[in-house]
Amino acid sequence: METTKDMAFFPPQTLQINGRLLSLDKPRIMGILNITPDSFYGGSRFSATDEALRQAEQMLCEGADFLDVGGYSTRPGAEEVPEAEEISRVRPVVAALAKNFPQAIISVDTFRASVARVAVGEGANMINDVSGGQADAAMFAAVGELGVPYVLMHSRGNPQTMQQLTHYEDIFTELMYFFQERILQLQQSGCRDIIIDPGFGFAKTMEQNYTLLKNLSVFRQLNKPLLVGISRKSMIWKKLGTSPEQALNGTTVLHTIAFLQGAQILRVHDVKPAAEIIRLLSDL
């Protein structure tokens, strides 16, 4: 396993966000704010703007660099949310966050170009697309025009079908091809800041998830910032025979492995434990 000293051979990346550069020479934390009634972990659900603002303030105080706002649950089996409903959930929260926390980096978790445009218009700084541009053919052009960083995640199908789409001849070859092809398409669309996410839990079995985590550093060949989203996921609590609510300790263990494997952004429900990992391992 590589140490953080080994990572010195890879030059640190930066993200350009509203004219300022964010260095990724140390791992960053993305706090999850779900404006949904059905996300898999109850602790991340917020139905009102004032609740989301209180949680955002706590996350920022604990060390979050990004706030990731989602109005459409993408857990396996989640129901479809109409476009208008997703916009009505996301728009007021993004606007309130931008007004109350002007220095915060606001990401919006959406696969719809229309939602991305509305969110950036209200003050969002980044788009996090779980479909990797597959759900909406207009997404790549939209993020290119908007000039915001884009999280390119690997997945297959949709929340209703992805658990039946887990067969790969060679998972690393297929994911690398997916990323290389779509990075080129994004660059041709004018998107300059691209972050990659292997998509833990999205069209992957538990065994495949752990294989990806164990070999996460492979993706650094793409020379793009690497985001990992494994917080409280079923790859943790199902393996332990518990529940999302009891998965914090397991999450911390796997976040530590992800950090040592080169993850530069951790997408988390619990900011303080993630920030403590970074503090403890920063001098290794």
Residue 231 pLDDT exceeds 50: yes
What is the band of 155 on the pLDDT scale with cuts at 50, 70, 90? very high
Is residue 31 within 8 A of residue 68, CB to CB? The reply is yes
| Whether pLDDT at 237 is above 50 | yes
Give the confidence band of 9 by pLDDT, cuts at 50, 70, 90: very low
Whether residue 282 has pLDDT greater than 90: no
Q: Which residues fall within 8 angstroms of residue 246, CB to CB, at 6 or more apart?
A: 237, 240
Bridge partners, 23 (sequence order): 14
pLDDT at 75 (0 to 100)? 66
DSSP class of 19:
T
> Which of 86-90, 179-183, 218-222 has the largest mean confidence?
179-183
Q: Is the pLDDT of residue 112 over 50?
A: yes
What pLDDT was estimated at residue 77? Answer: 63
Taking residues 19-28, what's their average pLDDT?
Answer: 92
Would you place residue 284 in the very low, low, confident or very high pLDDT band (cuts 50, 70, 90)? confident
- Give the separation between CA 52 and CA 238, rounded to whole angstroms: 28
Q: In the structure, what pLDDT confidence band is assigned to residue 37 with cuts at 50, 70 and 90? A: low
Q: Residue 94 in contact with residue 106, Cβ under 8 Å?
A: yes
130 pLDDT more than 70: yes
Q: pTM of the prediction? A: 0.91
- C-alpha span between 59 and 62 (Å, rounded): 5
Q: Is the pLDDT of residue 2 over 60?
A: no
Tokens of 185: 């398409």
> How high is the mean pLDDT of the chain?
90
Closest CA to 159 of 11, 1, 40, 29: 40
Catalytic residues: 233, 267
pLDDT at 41 over 50: no
pLDDT at residue 153 in the model:
97
Q: Given 3.40.50.11540, 3.40.140.10, 1.10.3470.10, 3.20.20.20, which CATH number is that of 6-281? A: 3.20.20.20
